[in-house]
Amino acid sequence: MKIARIVSSNSHIDYVARVIDALDAADPPNSEDFGFAQFVKLPLEDETEIIGVIYDSMLV
């Protein structure tokens, strides 16, 4: 399930993502899908994945 898209980077290991909402998709993720301390992954072309943890939020 896609929950967000990367919009910027603070460093080579710290990325900022925007949660997908009803303006972006017909079936956006629920709030339970992107809670704090939840592991997330980003698939790469060679069948490997980058993993991360949701650790912060900001209202923009």
pLDDT at 48: 92
Partner residues linked to 19 by β-bridges: 4
pTM of the model: 0.61
For 32, the 3-state DSSP assignment is: helix
Query: What is the model's pLDDT at position 24?
Result: 83
Average pLDDT over residues 46-56: 85
pLDDT, tens digit, 9 for 90 and up, residues 24-42: 888 887 777 777 777 788 7
**Helix or strand or coil: residue 42?**
strand
Task: Identify the bridge partners of residue 52 per DSSP, sorted by sequence position.
Answer: 40
Give 11's pLDDT tier (boundaries 50, 70, 90).
Answer: very high
Residue with tokens 């698939």: 43
